Amino acid sequence: MKTLILYAGKYGCTEKAAFLLKSRLGEADVVNLKYAKVPVLSAYDTVILGGSIYYGKIRKEMVMFTSKFERELSEKRLGLFICAGMAGEKAEQELHQAYPEGLYKRALAKEILGDEVYPDKLSTMDKWILRMVKGKGNEAGAGLSMDKMDSFARVMAER
């Protein structure tokens, strides 16, 4: 059976995380929820969902996807991740709230993989808000955690 990685991001960090996971898992299909048709889920026994957090919430494409396909997803070997600028308790809360409770509880792996910010790509509004929150010159993210990526992939690869 196959592995599917479905992601919803805005500027590229979540996409990068999705492909870094794929490179650790070997065979996996990677699909951007924003642009691609949702694949037939019955073809996969393992599904990894990832999304980035804005204003405390995961991208709306992921909210719509998980609410529509919660039943099918609950039968999969499931992994959940977020890309987020927050750390600690606040980020744990964001991860918990990002996915339906039933899926969160069942997931084999769930992780906050870190964040990357690409200042040149940000919309004027996002740039302005990030500057307000983090201060001018401090917009860059802390980076994606390769250790967390490795352990997430290890759990998902175990059969």
**Which residue ranges make up the site for ligand FMN (CB under 6 A)?**
9-14, 52-56, 83-86, 91, 94, 115-117, 122, 126, 129-130, 141
- Rounded to whole angstroms, the Cα distance separating 40 from 74 reads 15
3-state secondary structure of 83: strand
Q: Considering beta carbons, is residue 38 or 142 the nearer one to ligand FMN?
A: 142
Give the residue at shortest CB distance from ligand FMN.
Answer: 9
Q: Considering beta carbons, is residue 77 or 85 the nearer one to ligand FMN?
A: 85
Give the single-character DSSP code of 136: T
Q: How far is the CB of 87 from ligand FMN (least distance, A)?
A: 8
Closest-CA residue to 49 (of 80, 21, 23): 80
Q: How far is the CB of 126 from ligand FMN (least distance, A)?
A: 4
Q: How far is the CB of 40 from ligand FMN (least distance, A)?
A: 25
Contacts 24+ apart (CB under 8 A), 126-132: none
